Structure 1
Amino acid sequence: MTAPARRTLLKALAAAPALSALAVPQAAAATGIVKPLPPEYFTLRGTNAEARYESFADTGPLTPNARFFVRNHTSTPVLDATGWRLTVWGDGLHGGGPVHFTHGQLRDLPAVTRTALIECAGNGRSLYATQQGETVTGTPWTLGAVGAARWRGARLSDVLRLAGIAGDAVDVMPRGLDDEYVTGGVSLGRVRRPLPVAKALDDVILAYEMNGEPLPYDHGHPVRLVVPSWVGIASIKWLGDIEVSRAPLASPWNTEYYRMFGEAYPPGGSAPLTRQTLKSAYELPFGATLETGRTHRLTGRAWSALAPVREVDVSVDGGAHWRPARLLDAPRRNGWVRWTAPWHPHRPGPATLLARVTDADGNTQPERAVPNTQGYLFNAVVRHPVTLV
């Protein structure tokens, strides 16, 4: 595709209406989020809703759709699947495209189901400040910008091959149908981020169902990308088009954002973020009050995007002593495990609880995360304060 032709198609896609809008529930007025956001389950953070991590304690291995965190750059578009279509285009296709797929055509393709976590790259960002004294920018997530779901949809590889992907294509760039993101008075366009062809042809799906239900509006209806084990920004919601290119592609979401900048990294920053990291945490509010003289069943979750979880160790005395927790789920790739450990405290006063995950490849949470200016990929052992009475 020539440069003028590429610019013409980009303008046409940008100008295209974002499909038929339905009536938006009143809850969207303040946050741009459609679903109810009860305070016992969510903390509101601008256009985002963080799940209260402690509220996962009464859920199973999958996060209910109503409890799943929401990460929006702007507001949730309410789109009609019957008018939706996906445009695949670019010089990485034989003939350059564009090729279009309707929702019905996508559902006619062989369906696959993947159980996978979606986790924001900034999950745990606030802990750089509260736990390590580091100044970082971005949404101050604690630990609730993560959720696990069973996603069902078509393989991205099937769609790309039907569209005629060329053997020398190197990147694809999915783009959403949400509003253009404006920061500092400058529009960065609709959210989009390149994905290497090798990953696109591996385990990525175009999901239209979440936990056995049609994909909810806030989670990408009608269709979203699900990119297992990678940072959440890769799993573009409200998918509208995919550019396929024989040359590397770029957007603000892999140049200005979602790279590591700081003293520990090169002056131009790290390579664009791909895989997530590993975490473990207690399903307790920070600063929780617990009674002495009785046995508590401490619970939590642990996960690694690098390999299945192997073990979780816990400490109730700030790291002086460690013991293994009992895993409640079979470890699996791209998922988390629930764990439990009993504790019978005797003395009142402050205490610090720690949990540390080690995965099957030997990756273990460090005591301190390497800081970066935008607060990505916090992976240190979380220091969890409680008060005993």
Structure 2
Amino acid sequence: MTPEAPRGDIRTEAAYDRRRLRQWLAGEARADGVARRDVLRLAAAAGLTPAAALGASPAAAAGPGIVKPLPDEWFTVRGTNAETKFEALADTGPLTPAARFFVRNHTSTPRLDARSWTLRIWGDGLEGGPREFTLADLERLPSVTRTAFVECAGNGRSLFGSQQGRPVPGTAWTLGAIGQARWRGARLADVLRRAGLARHAVDVMPRGLDDSYVTADGTDLGRVRRPLPVAKALDDVLLAYEMNGEPLPPDHGHPVRVLVPSWVGIASVKWVGDIEVSATPLYSPWNTDFYRLFGPGHPAEGSAPLTRQTLKSAFELPWNARLSADTRHRLTGRSWSGEATVARVDVSTDGGTTWHRARLHDVPRRGSWVRWSTPWRPRTPGPATLLARATDATGRTQPPTTAHNTQGYLFDAVVRHPVTVV
């Protein structure tokens, strides 16, 4: 008998993760691959609380380790990562071509053979022993196709410094650490049930097949892995093997990746090789030390691990674009929310003094962005500031500023986009 999946709910998710954190601090959860003494040692060396010690993952100084070409007109290379320039999306439609999709790597892209790849499902949350699935096994299961964005939790991180005057460490993303694709794959729920999911299971933890991540001081944290509550795993999570109608490219998880719609990108583990199913809460650096909020206004031990993405808008224009005066321009952009559909977008062309509603070009759908446009005929040469402000179906509107956090996650403030009228 396997548990039924309730609909995802942010309050339930946050409560679950706070409970898991309390259980770890009380010694009731299991730290997979990282001894508690190592976490404490890192904390002592840095003069931080244990949870904050692993906060910023430094980018490798070497080359990016990315397989696909990274032309300058489409990408900004940031350490092991590649950020999409938002203006490169202007002619792409609602789906981001794989060639222009941002890349977030902790190490480098592995080259895996789909013919020999297997997915191992194991752990004390199963009835019976471990099970293995090949790609052919997954393809024989009922397939699901879902259009969804994937976005790094640190998207917009550089704006904490450039717009709010409080720089934070980590990859200095602007707004291009996001892409949207049509994903096809097997439901994780179907795979777990076939593997013998037990009623007492509480967590599932996918793990990637990329290289182990080693911190700046030489601590090996192992391969990227992050637990999901069973309820979420049984809800809308996919084991995706296609992207925009083609097999996954190497940089985006070939041959199979996890897709967790609307959640921070780290949950959508690429190159998945095994999934542990556990009867006790699981800990990894990627759900307790990374990807939580620290700093003023947050608990001393940090917030609950991040789950859903936040609300954002971006213009499909270069930063400091030059636009002709007394010419009618069509300003375009995109808005998205991890919590609900985007209901409206308002645009200001005078630095926020006045606002008018933009025209939406997509039917708003949960987990997807909407494209929008508005006309503008600037009259006076000189600098100008464009702003776009989204409101989602919950009634939430982008704020003028984002509450600070020391790792620079979930920037959701209205972005001040500079242009020059000539």
**What secondary structure sits across from 1:49 in the alignment?**
strand
**What secondary structure sits across from 1:382 in the alignment?**
coil
Aligned residue number for residue 34 of structure 1: 67
2:205 to 170, 173, 176: 173
Alignment pair present for 1:324 and 2:343: no
Rounded to whole Å, the distance in 1 between the matches of 2:296 and 2:122 is: 39
1:153-164 mapped onto 2 (5 Å cutoff):
153-164=185-196
**What secondary structure sits across from 1:317 in the alignment?**
coil
Rounded to whole Å, the distance in 2 between the matches of 1:138 and 1:69 is: 16
Query: How many angstroms does 1:135 deviate by?
Result: 2.3
1:376 to 376, 394, 409: 409
Aligned residue number for residue 314 of structure 2: 281
Rounded to whole Å, the distance in 1 between the matches of 2:382 and 2:70 is: 34
Aligned residue number for residue 269 of structure 1: 302
Rounded to whole Å, the distance in 1 between the matches of 2:77 and 2:146 is: 29
Query: How many angstroms does 1:30 deviate by?
Result: 3.1
Asked whether the equivalents of residues 63 and 79 of structure 2 are also in contact (C-alpha less than 8 Å), the reply is no
1:224-373 mapped onto 2 (5 Å cutoff):
224-373=257-406
Rounded to whole Å, the distance in 1 between the matches of 2:356 and 2:134 is: 53
Aligned residue number for residue 21 of structure 1: none
Rounded to whole Å, the distance in 2 between the matches of 1:351 and 1:101 is: 56
Query: How many angstroms does 1:98 deviate by?
Result: 1.2
Alignment pair present for 1:194 and 2:227: yes
Amino acid at match of 1:65: A
Alignment pair present for 1:182 and 2:214: yes
Rounded to whole Å, the distance in 1 between the matches of 2:70 and 2:419 is: 27
Rounded to whole Å, the distance in 2 between the matches of 1:213 and 1:352 is: 40
**What secondary structure sits across from 1:116 in the alignment?**
strand
Q: What count of residue pairs does the alignment treat as equivalent?
A: 364
Amino acid at match of 1:103: L
Alignment pair present for 1:114 and 2:162: no
Amino acid at match of 2:171: T
1:213 to 246, 264, 268: 246
Query: How many angstroms does 1:172 deviate by?
Result: 0.4
What root-mean-square deviation, in Å, do the aligned CA atoms of Structure 1 and Structure 2 show?
Answer: 1.4
Alignment pair present for 1:73 and 2:103: no
Aligned residue number for residue 145 of structure 1: 177
Aligned residue number for residue 45 of structure 1: 78
Aligned residue number for residue 43 of structure 2: none
* Bigger RCO (CA 8 Å, 6+ sep): 2
Query: How many angstroms does 1:106 deviate by?
Result: 1.0
Rounded to whole Å, the distance in 1 between the matches of 2:404 and 2:166 is: 7
TM-score, length of structure 1 as denominator length: 0.92
1:1-16 mapped onto 2 (5 Å cutoff):
none
Identity %: 71
Rounded to whole Å, the distance in 1 between the matches of 2:265 and 2:95 is: 17
**What secondary structure sits across from 2:193 in the alignment?**
helix
Query: How many angstroms does 1:134 deviate by?
Result: 1.1
Rounded to whole Å, the distance in 2 between the matches of 1:121 and 1:40 is: 24
Hey, which bits of structure 1, 4+ residues long, moved more than 6 A? none
Asked whether the equivalents of residues 150 and 265 of structure 2 are also in contact (C-alpha less than 8 Å), the reply is yes
